Amino acid sequence: MMTQAFYTGVSGLRTNQHGIDVVSDNLANINTVGFRSSNAEFSSLFEKTLNTTHNNTSNSVGIGSMLQATSLNQTQGSLMLSDRNTDLAIMGDGWFGVEGNNNIAYTRDGSFKFDALGDLVTNDGFHVLGTMGGNINGETLGAKLDEVKLGDVTSQEKLSFPKFLTYPQEATTKTKFTGNLGTEDETRSMSSGVIDSTGTRNNLKLIFTKSVPQTLPGSQWDIEATTETLDGITVYDTQNGKVSFDDKGALISSTLSSINNNGSKITIDLGNAYDGVVSNNGLISSSSSSDGIVAGELTGYSINQNAEIISSFSNGMQSSVGKIAVYHFQNDQGLQRVGSSKFTQSSDSGLPIFYTDINGQNVIGSSVSNFSLENSNVEMSNALTELIILQRSFDASSKSVTTADEMMQKALSMDA
Q: Is 246 exposed, middle or buried (CB count within 10 Å of its CB: 0-12, 13-18, 19+)?
A: middle
For residues 38 and 207, the model is more confident at 207
- The domain segmentation of the chain, as residue ranges, is 2-74+376-415, 79-167+297-374, 174-290
Average pLDDT score over residue span 384-390:
74
The mean pLDDT value for 193-198 works out to 92
Give tens-digit pLDDT for 287-339. 999 999 999 999 999 998 889 999 999 999 999 999 999 999 999 999 999 98
Pick the residue with more confidence: 25 or 51? 25
Q: Mean per-residue pLDDT for 89-101?
A: 93
Q: How confident is the model at residue 116 (pLDDT cuts 50, 70, 90)?
A: confident
Sign of CA dihedral 21, 26, 31, 35: positive
pLDDT at 32 over 80: yes
What's the whole-number mean pLDDT along residues 39-59? 59
Name the least confident of 120-129, 170-179, 181-190, 396-405: 396-405
Number of residues that make up the chain: 416
- Superfamily name with CATH number, domain 174-290: Flagellar hook protein FlgE (2.60.98.20)
According to the model, what pLDDT value does residue 226 have? 96
Q: Is the pLDDT of residue 235 over 70?
A: yes
d(CA 260, CA 213): 30
